[in-house]
Structure 1
């Protein structure tokens, strides 16, 4: 498997679950992928949120993308883990705001981040009890 398959899957199924830790307590919430390229998987948040503080305190995350297939034979997830890198890039923020104008009012507190390197793998019901055998894609 190749990184491009991960990029395509995430782009086609941008709603995902992002897991962080808050002290010793796991936290998970729905997130929306902004962009995925060979340079990483890009997201946004705002700095008053708890998730921002959690990511700053511990940048290690795991994200789960799901194809939302009701037929379990076709259901597929992609798990991606890595470390968050916050981006201070005015041009990139401008692109985000052009593509997602609903965030315009949040611009002063908007934070961009990406996972540039890590590991991903796909899982289906056919992989039940075989998780450790599944090929990992390093990026």
Structure 2
């Protein structure tokens, strides 16, 4: 597999699950991929949120993208394990904010000043499908 196969799958299935650590307790939540390219898999959050605090304290994450097909025989997931880096790019932050203006309406305020972007630019990624249920040890992994 080429990294582009993973980027394409994540882009086609942007709603995913991201796991952090809170001390010794794993925490998982649904998030939405901002975008992915050869420089990494990018996400947004808000600095007051627990997720942000957890990522700043321990930047190790695992993200699971899932295609959610009608026919479960076609189910496929992509697991991405890596370390988060926070991105300080005002133009990218404006792009994220513009894409998620609906959150300002929900919060009743401008969220751009507390928005953060983070990416996973190095790590391990692999696909898994139901046909792999007894073959996990032999799955192809891509280190990027």
Q: 2:141 aligns with which of 118, 136, 139?
A: 136
Relative to the length of structure 1, the TM-score reads 0.96
The residue aligned with 2:107 is: none
The residue aligned with 2:132 is: 127
Shift of 1:97: 2.3
- For 1:113 and 1:100, how far apart are their aligned partners in 2? 16
- For 2:101 and 2:53, how far apart are their aligned partners in 1? 25
Q: Which runs of 4+ in 1 moved over 6 A?
A: none
The residue aligned with 2:15 is: 15
- For 1:94 and 1:70, how far apart are their aligned partners in 2? 36
- For 2:57 and 2:97, how far apart are their aligned partners in 1? 26
How many residue pairs were aligned?
139
Relative to the length of structure 2, the TM-score reads 0.92
Gaps of 5+ in 2: 105-109
Matched position secondary structure for 1:34: strand
Identify the range of structure 1 (21-30 vs 104-113) with the bigger mean alpha-carbon deviation: 104-113
Identify the range of structure 1 (119-128 vs 101-110) with the bigger mean alpha-carbon deviation: 101-110
The residue aligned with 1:108 is: 113
- For 2:81 and 2:42, how far apart are their aligned partners in 1? 13
Shift of 1:58: 0.5
Shift of 1:71: 1.6
- For 2:26 and 2:70, how far apart are their aligned partners in 1? 27
- For 2:6 and 2:77, how far apart are their aligned partners in 1? 10
Identify the range of structure 1 (45-54 vs 98-107) with the bigger mean alpha-carbon deviation: 98-107
Matched position secondary structure for 2:74: coil
Superposition pairs for residues 18-37 of structure 1, below 5 Å? Answer: 18-37=18-37
CA-atom RMSD, angstroms?
A: 1.1
